[in-house]
């Protein structure tokens, strides 16, 4: 089992059960106790779990299902989506990554004349009957928690596509760059980055200063971040020092 996948599996077990003993993780994951200890130390360091005596408890952002997450922070997401959609010009080709905030961006594009490329089944379902939008759906392995197509088929399709703008969400942002919660997702998103002229990240401020399981790219790959008013002045400076334009949605 590859490192990132093993850590993802451990994180899923801890999230589901709330607290898991060290021996239980060894039995469920099928690796040595020393390996589990190292993985727990890493997950504790990035803030996803909390080490306790004899095991670990969940402390990170929930990897809840898509429908549940859609209802969370709706007002902030809608404000962020309005600002992000205003960056997109009529006639553009835009690539929309999967996620609840990018779904809100897609809602703001209804009625616009655009080419929209996406790997998100929820976004496809939203835009499929919009006659002004030329919709291109990417195929691949459909990740059940989010309804996004990932993996080699999606990557191969993305390699044939060039768009003006990519709008994407992330699992976390630190000074080291962007992070997400799934290795397959990160591999697919890296190809998205190469397919776009400009990269717009839409995120709520709670993700700033927190990493996730897999590193995606450095901050310098991003052109604009659209975020809610909870962003601190320090994080505005960090992003601007990396050459990222910060757009605050009120």
End-to-end, the C-alpha distance of the chain in Å comes to: 44
Secondary structure of the chain as H, E, C letters: CCHHHHHHHHHHHHHHHCEEEHHHHHHHHCCCHHHHHHHHHHHHHCCCEEEECCEEEECCCCCCCHHHHHCCCHHHHHHHHHHHHHCCCCCCEEEECCCHHHHHHHHHCCCCCEEEEECEHHHHHHHCCCCCEEEEECCCEEECCCCEEECHHHHHHHCCCCEEEEEECCCEEECCEEEECCHHHHHHHHHHHHHEEEEEEEECHHHECECCCEEEECHHHCCEEEEECCCCHHHHHHHHHCCCEEEEEC
More confident residue, 62 or 189: 189
**Phi, psi dihedral angles at 106 (to 5 degrees):** -60, -40
Q: How many CB atoms lie within 10 A of CB 8?
A: 21
User: What's the pLDDT tens digit per position in 87-132?
Assistant: 999 999 999 999 889 999 999 999 999 999 999 999 999 999 899 9
**Phi, psi dihedral angles at 62 (to 5 degrees):** -65, 140
Q: What pLDDT score does 80 carry? A: 95
User: What's the pLDDT tens digit per position in 28-58?
Assistant: 888 999 999 999 988 887 767 888 778 888 7
Q: Which residue has the tokens 């996004």?
A: 148
* Bridge partner list, 133: 114
Pairwise CA distance, residues 239 & 141, whole Å:
33
User: What's the pLDDT tens digit per position in 150-186?
Assistant: 999 999 999 999 999 999 999 999 999 999 987 888 9
pTM of the model: 0.75
Q: Is 39 exposed, middle or buried (0-12, 13-18, 19+ CB in 10 A)?
A: buried
Q: How far is CA 160 from CA 10, 153, 157, 195, in A?
A: 35, 11, 6, 8
Q: What pLDDT score does 53 carry? A: 77
Cβ atoms of 39 and 10 within 8 Å: the answer is: yes
Q: Which residue has the tokens 């200890």?
A: 37
């Amino acid at each position: 089992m590859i490192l990132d996948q093993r850590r993802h599996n451990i994180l899923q077990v801890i999230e589901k059960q709330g607290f898991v003993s060290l021996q239980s993780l060894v039995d469920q994951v099928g690796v040595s106790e020393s390996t589990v200890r190292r993985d727990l130390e890493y997950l504790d360091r990035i803030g996803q779990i909390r080490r306790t005596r004899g095991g670990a408890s969940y402390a990170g952002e929930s990897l809840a299902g898509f429908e549940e997450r859609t209802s969370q922070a709706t007002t902030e997401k809608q404000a962020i989506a309005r600002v992000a959609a205003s960056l997109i010009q009529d006639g553009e080709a835009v690539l929309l990554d999967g996620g609840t905030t990018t779904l809100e961006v897609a809602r703001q594009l209804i009625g616009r004349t655009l080419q929209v490329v996406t790997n998100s089944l929820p976004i496809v379902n939203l835009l499929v009957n919009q006659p002004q939008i030329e919709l291109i759906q990417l195929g691949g392995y459909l990740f059940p928690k989010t309804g996004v197509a990932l993996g080699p088929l999606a990557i191969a399709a993305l390699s044939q596509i060039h768009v003006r703008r990519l709008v994407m969400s992330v699992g976390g942002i630190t000074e080291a760059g962007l992070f997400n919660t799934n290795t397959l997702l990160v591999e697919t998103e890296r190809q998205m980055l190469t397919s776009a002229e400009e990269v717009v990240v839409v995120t709520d401020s709670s993700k700033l200063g927190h990493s996730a399981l897999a590193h995606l790219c450095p901050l310098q790959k991003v052109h604009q971040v659209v975020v809610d008013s909870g962003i601190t002045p320090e994080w505005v400076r960090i992003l601007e020092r990396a050459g990222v334009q910060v757009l605050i949605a009120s």
